[in-house]
Amino acid sequence: MNIAISIIDMLLAFLLAPLMLGIINRTKAFFAGRTGQPLFQAYFDIRRLLLKGAVYSKTTTWVMRAGPIVGLSATIMTAAIVPFGGSQALLAFPGDIFLLAYLLGLARFFTVIAALDTGSSFEGMGASREVQFSSLAEPVLFLGLAAVARQTSSLSLSGMLQAVSIETWITGGPVLFLAAAAILFIFLTENSRVPVDDPNTHLELTMIHEVMVLDHCGPDFAFIQYGAAIKLWVFGALLTGIILPLHTGNNLLDGVAAVACMSLLAVVVGIIESTMARFRLLRVPQMLVGAGALALLALLLALR
């Protein structure tokens, strides 16, 4: 029964992840006074890309081809670790937050070396930025999750998010709130959303994630886009798991509430992107250190 629910949760992630991007884009369009692209545009894009053939430059090696595949598979693995809607994740064991962080690290590493493999100086620049920011983001993720782990006295991600309830919010509200705020910053950084990176720009000197995948095309690019959507979903599930204290025990009801909360999160991301300008690149590390300060404060309060 439990395993069936975990599998349904994963299928939900596979099915609905690109929809998050659609909701974000529609929110941004609403704020800009446009109609915006269809809600299911991300699905259309992925389908269109999958039907195309791939072109590889002669200077690239197998690394370029392995990048998107390893990236997507590592990201899919993370969907198995992060629980959704208060149920048990497919893979749950003490310390699985490390596996989560390093699977994300593996996906990032392959995206980065695939970008370097093309030999384009432009992509190397994006790769360098990606690595710089994520090396600052990773400790913040650990600190934030350590605070939640301490507060809920559980070492596995599923246990942590299942233990979050109205009582834990009453007794440890500040800790959970600070940890959630820090993880929101990490959510925006890791998914290259606005204050850090702009997913819409393609030919600008300040972009990060999009520049690394410029030379991928066809199915490879579909893998990358789908992987990015799942990553967004996984981080969203992590964040909503901390914020949403309600567990009715009814799996269907919990699932619906979690999906609603995820859509709300997508709307919030859309609002952030519409109302904020992107930071200067020099300001991004400062923002991440600020998020680190929040996470550290949460941990210190939890340890007290």
Partner 1 sequence: MTNWIDTVMVLIILSNLMLLGSSRLAACIRIVASQGIILGLLPLLAHEGGIDGHVVLLAAWSVTLKGVAFPWLLTRAMRDASVRREVEPFVGYTTSLLAGCAALAVSLWAGNRLPLPFAIQNSSLTVAVALFTIMTGLFVIVSRRKAVNQVLGYLVLENGIYMYGVAFVQKSPLLVELGVLLDVFVAVFVMGIMIFHINREFDHIDTDQLSILKE
Binding site for partner 1 (CB under 8 A): 170-171, 173-174, 178, 285-286, 289-290, 292-294, 296-297, 300-301, 304
3-state secondary structure 140-202: HHHHHHHHHHHHHCCCCHHHHHHHCCHHHHHHHHHHHHHHHHHHHHHHHHHCCCCCCCCCCCC
Closest approach, Cβ 286 to partner 1, in A, equals: 5
Shortest Å, Cβ 289 to partner 1: 5
Q: Please say which residue, 89 or 175, places its beta carbon nearer to partner 1.
A: 175
CB of 168 to partner 1, least distance (A): 13
**49 vs 296, beta carbon nearer partner 1:** 296
Dist. CA 242–CA 148, nearest whole Å: 8
- Closest CB to partner 1 among residues 200, 286: 286
Of the two residues 153 and 286, which places its CB atom closer to partner 1 in the complex?
Answer: 286
State the minimum distance, in angstroms, from the CB of residue 3 to partner 1: 39
Query: Whole-number minimum distance, CB 145 to partner 1, in Å?
Result: 18
Min dist CB 296 to partner 1, Å, is 5
Rounded Cα–Cα distance for residues 63 and 123 (Å): 15
Q: Are 84 and 258 in contact (CB under 8 A)?
A: yes
Q: 245 CB contacts (<8 Å, ≥6 apart)?
A: 164, 165, 166, 168, 169
Q: Which is nearer to partner 1, 185 or 226 (CB)?
A: 185
**Comparison of 222 and 296: residue with beta carbon closer to partner 1:** 296
Sign of the CA dihedral with 235 first, then 31, 263, and 42 last? negative
Residue count of the chain: 304
Cβ contacts of 247 within 8 Å, gap of 6 or more: 86, 162, 165, 254
